[in-house]
Amino acid sequence: MKKDEKPYHILVIEDNLGDFVILEEYLSESILHLEATHAENFKEAVELLEKNERQYDLVFLDLSLPDKSGEELVKEITGRAEEIPVVVLTGFADLEFGSRSLALGASDYLVKDDLSPAVLYKSLIYNIQRVNFISELKDSKKKYADLFQLNPSPILVYDFETLKILDVNEASVQKYGYSREEFLNMDLKDLRPKEDEAILISAVEEFWKKNGKNYKKISRHLKKNGELMDVERSPAKIKINNKDAGMVLINDITENLKYIHKIEEQNQTFKEIAWIQSHVVRAPLARLMGLVNLLEGSEDNLSEDNQKLVEYIKLSAEELDAIIRDISKKSEGIYNES
Q: Is the pLDDT of residue 159 over 80?
A: yes
Q: What is the pLDDT of residue 174?
A: 95
Q: Is the pLDDT of residue 169 over 60?
A: yes
Q: What is the pLDDT of residue 123?
A: 94
**Range with the largest mean pLDDT of 43-47, 260-264, 283-287:** 43-47
Q: What is the pLDDT of residue 212?
A: 58
How many angstroms separate the CA atoms of 134 and 132, rounded?
Answer: 5
Contacts of 194 (CB under 8 A, 6+ apart): none
State the Cα torsion 69-73-74-79 to the nearest 10°. Answer: -170
Q: What is the pLDDT of residue 43?
A: 94
Q: What is the pLDDT of residue 100?
A: 82
**Regarding beta strands 165-168 and 155-159, do their DSSP bridges make them parallel or antiparallel, or are they unpaired?**
antiparallel
Q: Provide the CATH topology of domain 8-146.
A: Rossmann fold (3.40.50)
Q: Is the pLDDT of residue 256 over 70?
A: yes
Question: Cα 199 from chain centroid?
Answer: 26
Whole-prediction pTM = 0.56
Strand partners, 264: none
Q: What is the pLDDT of residue 30?
A: 94
Delimit the domains of the chain by residue range: 8-146, 151-252, 256-337
pLDDT digits (tens, 9 = 90+) for 287-320: 777 777 777 666 666 677 777 777 878 788 788 7
- Taking a C-beta distance cutoff of 8 angstroms, is the pair 88, 63 a contact? yes
Q: Which helix (H) or strand (E) holds 233?
A: strand 228-240
Q: What is the pLDDT of residue 115?
A: 92
pLDDT digits (tens, 9 = 90+) for 197-230: 999 999 888 888 876 566 788 899 999 999 999 9
CATH architecture assignment, domain 256-337: Orthogonal Bundle (1.10)
- CATH class label, 151-252: alpha beta
- Taking a C-beta distance cutoff of 8 angstroms, is the pair 37, 10 a contact? yes
Q: Is the pLDDT of residue 53 over 70?
A: no
CA quadruple 295, 298, 299, 301: dihedral sign: negative
Q: Is the pLDDT of residue 335 over 60?
A: no
How many angstroms separate the CA atoms of 119 and 127, rounded?
Answer: 12
The closest of 60, 184, 36 to 110, measured between CA atoms, is: 60
Q: Is the pLDDT of residue 338 over 60?
A: no
Q: What is the pLDDT of residue 334?
A: 56
Q: What is the pLDDT of residue 219?
A: 92
